[in-house]
Amino acid sequence: MNNNHHPKPHIVFYFSDTGGGHRSAAEAIIEALQNEYGDSFTCEMVDFFKQYAPPPFRKMPEIYPELVKAPALWQASFVATDGRPQARVITASLWPVARTAARKLVRDHPADLIVSVHAIATTFALRALGRERPPFYTVVTDMVTTHALWFDARADHIFVPTETARQRAIAYRMPAEKLEVVGMPIADRYCAPAGNKRTLRKKLGWPLDKPIVLMVGGGDGMGPLGRTARAVDDSGLNVGLVIVCGRNEKLKANLEKQAWENPAFIYGFTREMPDFMRAADFIVTKAGPGTIAEALNADLPVILYSKIPGQEDGNVIFVEAEGAGVWAPKPQQVVRTLTRWITNPQEREKVIVNARRVARPDASRRIARVLGERLGL
């Protein structure tokens, strides 16, 4: 079977940087594999859009943040293309364009096992691989509103984050025995015990005497982050603000120039998020599945203030249905929710208990063990 140049079993991950969630899911699974099996395997991550897609698709990782800024259009295209017949039409009509690239992708990266963490890679790769192929696993990184493109019955096994996603897969005629609900794979650092908030705050230089509101806009600093932060600051609430602007340099410079009523800590892209989450009392974030999963693991009540229509709608439904947070698209709604939770500790405690209940800290490990068993590691 091992026809590649690696003496150890070799795992290839297909991902793309369209939104932060795909890369971090792949990295979390690789980390879990290393924790479980040390160096008894080798692996690589391939950004199939950037490295292989024909133009203009190759530009997808750069265009994506812009595309998403036209939410109505994005949602219309998501809904119009979501369904088994539509998914077939898309893949069939794009196949002539993608065929050469897909075949080159699978040829350039021989593997003993393939993991796809991106809806678009799945069908094209399976088609290019043909019958004589290594085991193929799909890890779905949308919580609930999972696009039909995720589900291809040729995959050997499909990991989904929620029971709702499993039901959708069955509705798309996926064989039930190929589906497994595991949660969202997130990095080990997010799954560590919560630790002491005071100690963490001292280390970070944050105030110890007031609630800390962590505000995040995703890796690209998307959503009306600045406007929401200013509304919270102007609200009269006595809080500490921690604002993470991601790669949005302009927003960061803009916020640093402002005069703030409350202590405000402004960060760009940071690797400290696990500690930030454990040290904070609340998170105000866009509805990205990775950030939600990380926040739940940190026992953080979640306020969602923006979402990508279509694929992130379900994340909002999930958080609200589980009682782990609220949808508050207007700055005033964010302020009202924070006020309620700060003045009503019982309600806040309920939300924290719910977050703890739905968190699935073992998702990455569970996926890693299935892959490891398949390879006989």
- What average pLDDT values come out for the chain (377 residues) when binned by 10 residues? 69 84 92 96 92 71 62 66 71 76 92 94 91 96 81 95 92 95 92 84 96 84 82 97 92 94 95 94 92 93 90 89 96 97 96 93 96 96
The length of the chain in residues reads 377
Distant-in-sequence, close-in-space partners of 327: CB < 8 Å, separation ≥ 6: 304, 316, 319, 320
Sequence letter at residue 280: A
At 309 the pLDDT is 81
Determine the Cα–Cα distance for residues 98 and 206; give it in Å rounded to an integer: 50
Which two three-digit tokens encode residue 189? 């650092």
Determine the Cα–Cα distance for residues 186 and 291; give it in Å rounded to an integer: 9
Which two three-digit tokens encode residue 241? 């603000």
Q: What is the pTM of this model?
A: 0.83
CB burial of 107-134 (b: ≥16 within 10 Å; e: otherwise) equals: eebebbbbbbbbbbbbbbbbbbbeeeeb
- Neighbouring CB atoms inside 10 A of 68's CB total 22
Determine the Cα–Cα distance for residues 223 and 181; give it in Å rounded to an integer: 30
At 65 the pLDDT is 63
CB burial of 306-340 (b: ≥16 within 10 Å; e: otherwise) equals: bbbbbbbbbbbbbbeebebbbbbeebebbbebbee
Which two three-digit tokens encode residue 321? 């249905």
At 68 the pLDDT is 59
The CA-to-CA distance between both ends of the chain, in Å, stands at 15
Which two three-digit tokens encode residue 140? 């779905």
49-72, pLDDT tens digit by residue? 888 876 666 666 566 666 656 666
At 220 the pLDDT is 57
Sequence letter at residue 288: G
Q: Nearest Cα to 289, choosing from 243, 352, 229, 358?
A: 358
At 369 the pLDDT is 97
Are the C-beta atoms of 302 and 292 separated by less than 8 Å?
Answer: yes
> By three-state DSSP, how is residue 333 classified?
helix
Determine the Cα–Cα distance for residues 288 and 281; give it in Å rounded to an integer: 19
Are the C-beta atoms of 284 and 334 separated by less than 8 Å?
Answer: yes
Distant-in-sequence, close-in-space partners of 33: CB < 8 Å, separation ≥ 6: 11, 41, 43, 368, 371, 372
List, as one string, the DSSP characters of 138-172. EE---SS---GGG--TTSSEEEESSHHHHHHHHHT
Which two three-digit tokens encode residue 280? 């904070």
Phi (first) and psi of residue 268, to 5 degrees: -90, -140
> By three-state DSSP, how is residue 94 classified?
helix
CA distances from 274 to 181, 191, 301 (A): 24, 9, 15
At 57 the pLDDT is 66
Whether the CA torsion 358, 272, 66, 125 is positive or negative: it is negative
Phi (first) and psi of residue 59, to 5 degrees: -80, 0
Which secondary-structure segment (H or E) carries 58? none
> By three-state DSSP, how is residue 174 classified?
coil
Beta bridge partners of 115: 13, 137
Q: Which residue ranges form the domains of the chain, and what is each CATH number?
A: 10-184+361-375 (3.40.50.2000), 189-358 (3.40.50.2000)
Q: Tell me how far the alpha carbon of residue 259 is from its chain's centroid.
A: 33
Sequence letter at residue 337: T
